[in-house]
Amino acid sequence: MNNTLLQQVPANKAFSQFDESVARQFAEQFGTPLFIIDEAGVLARLQALQGATQKLYANSLISISYKTNFVPGLLALLHAEGAHAEVVSGIEYEVARGLKEPAQKIIFNGPMKLDAELVQAIEDGAIINCDHEDEIDRIEKIAEQLQTKVGIGMRVHFPDAGMPWNRFGFPVTNGLQNPKTLALVKRIIESPNLSLSGLHSHIGTNIRDLSYFAKLGQLFNDFALELKDVFGIELSWIDVGGGLAGIAPYIEESTGENKITEFPLPDAGAYAEAVITPLLPYLNSLAKPAMLIFEPGRTLFEAFGALLTSVVGRRPEADDNSAAVICDAGINTLATSYVYDFPVKCFAQVENIRQTQLFGPTCNQKDQLHTPLPLPALKSGDLLLFAGVGSYCMAFSYSFIRFRPGVVLWRGGSEGEWLRKPETIKHNAQLELIPKHRKQYA
């Protein structure tokens, strides 16, 4: 039986050896739908990012974006290779501590941190980046109650630089020449319970134009030098966030067309050079080296996650030139399929190629996994592999009509190991309650 690999770019080697034989074995052993993580691929990408950043600045560190792929077994593998943790909630913070990650290796970001979570992070000595002034006020009060002084980071964005994102953090325009920015910095450094220890920014997502990162590095450099010259502040960390692209193509909404070719992963060395080079004047001026923190998410995980799904049925179409099939994975599994046309590997005999619509199993009119694409004539039991789903899909999957699928670590060949079991009705029943006067019906 011949296989066809649709929309594959040779530059991305993830799952190139995941052939029909392996797909069949995984489907029989673990069932479908099934998320799969390429262990060798994701570890190699981490090492590439670590090597590229540390080559240019030795005190660089890679801190994993937990929200991008919140599978603890995978995170534990990456921590074992020296990666730190970037968390945006108390839930993620608790998971990081449960994985034995030292608090000093946890970067606590996000716009909502509960008081109890802040107390824990302060007592533990975690790195805290603040998103808004009310959060700074709360940290100051907590620090006063704990009779301590807390070094905090400011999350900033630079409106005049054309950065994609501006929802989070404090706007910084013209540095300390802006009265609001100057007042905020003074407010922090004049507090007996606070000190300004770091800066943080996260400029967007799925960014391929490295000039954005070079601009970020330059703006950070200029602002940090100004803080040093005016107030004598030498930062302990600069957190440049994430945002570097993965491989998945956007659906082109403006034209209704789809871009169905995988992008190559951005080069780790070129990315590191873009960010770090403009920052070196400031970093090299410090008496004590500052930490330079990177928070990869999409660019670390995306290419090395896949979804294996089975065709469960065919539905009639109006003509012989098109086809439609129903899969056991839907928008409840690939929640970002409305944004991306994920490349598809088809394990079926190459014959009767037709434009085919892939539908999911839910009773939702919008449950479509892809814009129509050319596929062989599919039948019940045929397998498809969606590539490039390693970021956000596993985290965003939800229980709607069908329960969330499991996640398996692929170690090459036919070797796989559960990282997360599929949800079942038993898991659901642990949280659901029946009114007392209706217990006899349960």
Structure tokens at 320: 């012989």
* One domain, residues 44 and 18: no
Two structure tokens written together for 110 = 């996000």
Q: Does residue 437 sit within a domain?
A: no
The answer to whether residues 333 and 240 belong to one domain is no
pLDDT tens digits along 335-353: 998 888 898 999 987 778 8
Say if CB 232 and CB 324 are below 8 A apart: no
Using alpha carbons, select from 78, 67, 68 the residue that is nearest to residue 101: 78
In a domain, 442, yes or no: no
Q: Which of 301, 333, 352 is the last residue of a domain?
A: 301
Cα-based distances in Å from 429 to 406, 437, 439: 18, 18, 14
Query: Is residue 64 assigned to a domain?
Result: yes
Least confident range of 10-14, 284-288, 344-348, 424-428 = 10-14
pLDDT at 154 over 90: yes
* In the predicted structure, residue 5 carries a pLDDT above the cut 80: no
What is the pTM assigned to this prediction?
A: 0.93
The backbone torsions φ and ψ at residue 243, rounded to the nearest 5 degrees and listed phi first, read: 105, -10
**Residue showing tokens 């020296």:** 82
> For residue 7, what pLDDT is reported?
35
* Enclosing domain of residue 315: 4-37+303-429
Q: How many domains does the chain have?
A: 2
Are 187 and 256 in a shared domain?
A: yes
152 and 182 part of one domain = yes
Q: Are residues 386 and 410 in the same domain?
A: yes
Angle at 189 between CA 185 and CA 195, to 5 degrees: 110
pLDDT digit string, tens, across residues 48-67:
999 999 999 999 999 999 99
CATH for 242: 3.20.20.10
Residue with tokens 């951005």: 266
- The answer to whether position 271 is within a domain reads yes
Q: Calculate mean pLDDT across residues 72-88.
A: 98
Q: Are residues 373 and 253 located together in one domain of the fold?
A: no
Looking at the structure, tell me whether residues 177 and 115 fall in a common domain.
Answer: yes
Q: What is the CATH number of the domain that holds 309?
A: 2.40.37.10
Average pLDDT over residues 81-103: 97
Residue 307 within a domain: yes
pLDDT at 8 over 90: no
Whole-number pLDDT of residue 151: 98
Could you give the CA distance from residue 87 to residue 203 in angstroms, rounded to a whole number? 17
Same domain, 102 and 150: yes
Alpha-carbon 110 to chain mean position: 14
The last residue of one of the domains, among 270, 301, 332, is 301
pLDDT at 261 over 90: no
Predicted pLDDT at 162: 78
Buried b (16+ CB within 10 A) or exposed e, 114-131: eeebbebbbeeebbbbbb
Give me 353's structure tokens.
């190629």
| Per-residue pLDDT at 319 | 73
- Over residues 268-277, the mean pLDDT reads 98
Residue 312 in tokens: 């469960």
Q: What is the DSSP letter of 98?
A: H
What is the C-alpha separation between 49 and 272, in angstroms, rounded?
Answer: 8
More confident residue, 299 or 440: 299
Average pLDDT, the chain: 91
State the pLDDT at residue 35: 98
Cα 292 vs. chain centroid, distance in angstroms? 19
In this predicted model, what pLDDT tens digit does every residue of 210-250 receive, in sequence order?
999 999 999 999 999 999 999 999 999 999 999 999 998 88
9 pLDDT more than 70? no
Query: pLDDT by residue (tens digit) across 393-408?
Result: 999 998 888 889 999 9
Mean pLDDT across 429-442: 78
- The token pair at 425 is 């009705």
Q: Tell which of 252, 286, 301 closes a domain.
A: 301
Does residue 3 surpass a pLDDT of 60? no
435 within a domain of the structure (yes/no):
no
| Whether residues 105 and 238 fall in one domain | yes
> Looking at the domain assignment, is residue 310 inside a domain?
yes
What pLDDT score was predicted for residue 163?
Answer: 74
Complete DSSP assignment for 27-76: HHHH-SSEEEEEHHHHHHHHHHHHHHHHHH-TTEEEEEEGGGS--HHHHH
Same structural domain, 373 and 282: no
Taking the C-alpha atoms of residue 146 and residue 121, their distance in angstroms, rounded to an integer, is 12
Indicate if 173 and 314 belong to the same structural domain.
Answer: no
Residue 48 lies in a domain: yes
Report how many helices (DSSP H) and strands (DSSP E) the chain contains, helices first. 13, 21
Based on the domain organization, do 46 and 29 belong to the same domain? Answer: no
